[in-house]
Chain A
Amino acid sequence: KAGVTQTPRYLIKTRGQQVTLSCSPISGHRSVSWYQQTPGQGLQFLFEYFSETQRNKGNFPGRFSGRQFSNSRSEMNVSTLELGDSALYLCASSFTGYETQYFGPGTRLLVL
Chain B
Amino acid sequence: QQQVKQSPQSLIVQKGGISIINCAYENTAFDYFPWYQQFPGKGPALLIAIRPDVSEKKEGRFTISFNKSAKQFSLHIMDSQPGDSATYFCAADSTGTASKLTFGTGTRLQVTL
Contact = CB atoms under 8 A, between A and B. Distances in A.
Contacts of B91: 43
**Candidate in B44, B45, B99, B103 with the most chain A CB atoms within 10 angstroms:** B99
Interface of B: 34, 36, 41-46, 49, 89, 91, 96-106
A4 B89 CA distance: 20
B99 A94 contact: yes
Contacts of B99: 31, 33, 48, 50, 55-56, 92, 94, 97-98, 101
Instruction: Name the prevailing secondary structure of the B interface residues.
Output: loop
Interface of A: 4, 31, 33, 35, 42-45, 48, 50, 55-56, 58, 90, 92, 94, 97-106
Contacts of A43: 44, 89, 91, 101, 103, 106
B43 A98 contact: no
Contacts of B101: 33, 35, 43, 45, 101
Instruction: Name the prevailing secondary structure of the A interface residues.
Output: strand
B44 A58 contact: no
A56 B2 CA distance: 15
**Candidate in B97, B101, B102 with the most chain A CB atoms within 10 angstroms:** B97
Nearest to B102: A45
A3 to B, nearest CB: 9
Contact of B98 (A101, A104, A105): A101
Q: Which 3 A/B pairs are nearest by Cβ-Cβ distance? A: A103-B43, A97-B99, A43-B103
B102 A98 contact: no
A44 B101 CA distance: 8
Contact of A44 (B42, B43, B49, B103): B103
A100 B34 contact: yes
A35 B106 CA distance: 15
Contact of A98 (B42, B98, B106): B98
B21 to A, nearest CB: 15
A94 B98 contact: yes
B100 A105 contact: no
7 contacts: A42-B105, A43-B103, A92-B43, A100-B46, A100-B98, A105-B42, A106-B43
